[in-house]
Amino acid sequence: MKTIMQALVLVLLCTLATARLQAQTELSMDSPVMDVNFTLDPVLQIDPKPATAQPVLIPQPLVLKHPKNGKCYAFRCAKPVGCENCGLYWKDRNGDGQINPKQELRCRCQGDPDTACKIRAREVACHE
């Protein structure tokens, strides 16, 4: 009985530690880490549009490698109540062909453009 209790406590502690670690990796879009130009991965096959063009819908999650710290970040939209599908959009505002998440990424509710969706960013493992 004591062994079962110890095993349950260990599982509970591991679960809490994992949840805490995941919560720590979520980044705010106001973070200075997000205010840099990420190079657009050619695998995404997204053509940069001129700054005057309409924003481009990007598949989620968008995983980009940070040019300075070498870490990878996944960007996705968090669905608010009343929105079935939030789309992640990129508009190359300065025409450099790179993605600056803080300035150029936006989330919009595809069913109701007035409903605001928020961008979420998390640090993830890089796959190369």
How does pLDDT run across 47-101, given as a tens digit for each residue?
A: 656 666 788 888 899 998 888 898 899 999 988 888 888 999 998 888 888 888 8
Do residues 45 and 59 lie in contact, with contact meaning Cβ atoms separated by under 8 Å? no
Is residue 117 assigned to a domain? Answer: yes
22, part of any domain: no
The verdict on residue 3 lying in a domain is no
Terminal-to-terminal C-alpha distance of the chain: 47
When pLDDT is cut at 50, 70 and 90, the band that residue 12 belongs to is low
Q: Span 15-30, mean pLDDT?
A: 55
> 32 in a domain, yes or no?
yes
Provide the domain count of the chain.
1
Helix (H, G, I), strand (E, B) or coil at 5: helix
Could you tell me if residue 2 is inside a domain? no
What are 37-62's pLDDT values in tens digits?
A: 777 665 556 665 666 678 888 889 99
Domain residues for the domain of 38 are 28-124
DSSP H helices in the chain: 2-25, 101-104
